[in-house]
Amino acid sequence: MAKKLLGRRPLLFILTALVLLFFYLRDSLVTTSVMSTSVTFGLPLAMAAMVGIMCERTGIVNIGIEGTLLVSSFVGFFTASLTGNLLLGLFAAVAMGAVAGLLLALLSITWKMDQIIAGTIINILATGLTSFFYKQGHTIPTTFPEFSLPGLSSIPFFGPVLFVHGPLTFFGIFVIIALWYALYFTPWGLRSRSVGEHPSSADTAGVSVLKMRYLNVTIAGAIGGLTGAYLTLELVGSWDRGFSAGKGFTALALMIFGRWNPLGALGAGIFFGVAQAITNQLMFSQVITIPQQLTNMLPYVLTILILAISAGKVRAPAAEGQPYEKESA
């Protein structure tokens, strides 16, 4: 269990803990706030990575995460804005995400379209539709409010970092851990992974490859919708064109860095979040002055670096990207 939790990078983990301790002893207030921010930066990325993990574990490549985030956050925001009800916005976003997932499933599973093209279609469709229907000047009355988990939040450092957040943050963390558990410790997980690795094995064992793929890609879409809602209704509180800002692609890098393991991707997401939060803090406190554009590049540069480092060392689900033809078994 401990090995699974820490992954195969215990050194990295210990090193991070030591660095944190050093800064915490020097300036506890700033360190705590930076780490708390890094959760809000990293978690949406990790959640978006779950979309990729769920799809790819069953053999469907989803590069439409970006579009899913964009369109579901759009629908979530405007539903909340027009009805004045945040919960309705949340449900609308989740439903929209599921629809995007279903579309990917239809294109890539039923129609056996090239999965990269199917994902691209979702991205383009999302950009086009949201830009077309976007109207300026809409607002939502409030965002999902932050609250403190009683008891836990009074632990020094960890309390404010982990246990003082909005409800969707907690829910997001729950989803990631639940997905990890389900993937490795339930029949559903075993079947999902077998479908992504060697679909004819699953088929000959009486597991419907088609149904598993449809189910998982659609649920993955719903998680994408949840992420979209989280971004707009809890973290930002507004919506603008190109709102998802490449998070869907960064998520794919996290997925790979985390070896298609939800906890691995969560770790990678936190790593990204910390990097972003530290940069912001350094800029804010004027320790460094670099143009905004350069810091905006950071996630992409990190993505490229990480992919370059992990290339060749990780193993993707074997049946990824291949439509399943029953009779060629």
Residue 125 tokens, joined:
């469709």
Query: Whose Cβ is closer to another protein: residue 186's or residue 238's?
Result: 186
Number of residues written out for the chain: 329
Least CB distance to another protein at residue 61 (A): 18
Query: Whose Cβ is closer to another protein: residue 60's or residue 86's?
Result: 60
Query: Whose Cβ is closer to another protein: residue 190's or residue 235's?
Result: 190
Least CB distance to another protein at residue 329 (A): 6
Query: Whose Cβ is closer to another protein: residue 106's or residue 182's?
Result: 182
Query: Whose Cβ is closer to another protein: residue 180's or residue 230's?
Result: 180
Binding mask 176-215 for another protein (x = CB under 8 A): ---------xxx-xxx-xx--xx-xxxxxxxxx-------
Least CB distance to another protein at residue 212 (A): 11
Least CB distance to another protein at residue 129 (A): 37
Binding residues for another protein restricted to 40-59, rule: CB under 8 A: none
In sequence order, the 6+-apart residues with CB closer than 8 A to the CB of 187 are none
Least CB distance to another protein at residue 117 (A): 19
What does the radius of gyration of the chain's CA atoms come to, in whole angstroms?
A: 20
Let me know: does 42 contact 274? Beta carbons within 8 Å: yes
Residue 132 tokens, joined:
């077309």
Query: Whose Cβ is closer to another protein: residue 66's or residue 203's?
Result: 203
Residue 93 and residue 162: Cα distance in Å, rounded? 25
Let me know: does 248 contact 223? Beta carbons within 8 Å: no
3-state helix, strand, coil split of the chain in percent (to 5) is: 75, 0, 25
Residue 157 and residue 267: Cα distance in Å, rounded? 18
In sequence order, the 6+-apart residues with CB closer than 8 A to the CB of 139 are 81, 238
Binding mask 263-302 for another protein (x = CB under 8 A): ----------------------------------------
Beta strands in 136-199, from DSSP E residues, in sequence order? 147-148, 164-165
Least CB distance to another protein at residue 116 (A): 18
**Which residues on neighbouring strands pair with residue 133, listed in sequence order?**
none
Q: Which residue has the tokens 């708390």?
A: 36
Query: Whose Cβ is closer to another protein: residue 42's or residue 199's?
Result: 199
Binding residues for another protein restricted to 299-318, rule: CB under 8 A: 315, 318
Least CB distance to another protein at residue 136 (A): 47
Least CB distance to another protein at residue 178 (A): 12
Per-position DSSP letters for 84-106, written without gaps between them: --HHHHHHHHHHHHHHHHHHHHI
Residue 52 and residue 45: Cα distance in Å, rounded? 11
Residue 328 tokens, joined:
């060629």
Let me know: does 98 contact 218? Beta carbons within 8 Å: yes
Query: Whose Cβ is closer to another protein: residue 54's or residue 162's?
Result: 54
Least CB distance to another protein at residue 171 (A): 20
Q: Identify the residue among 17, 149, 301, 329 touching another protein (CB under 8 A).
A: 329
Query: Whose Cβ is closer to another protein: residue 85's or residue 200's?
Result: 200
Let me know: does 66 contact 247? Beta carbons within 8 Å: yes
Note whether 152 binds another protein by CB under 8 A.
no
Residues that bind another protein (CB under 8 A): 185-187, 189-191, 193-194, 197-198, 200-208, 315, 318, 326-327, 329
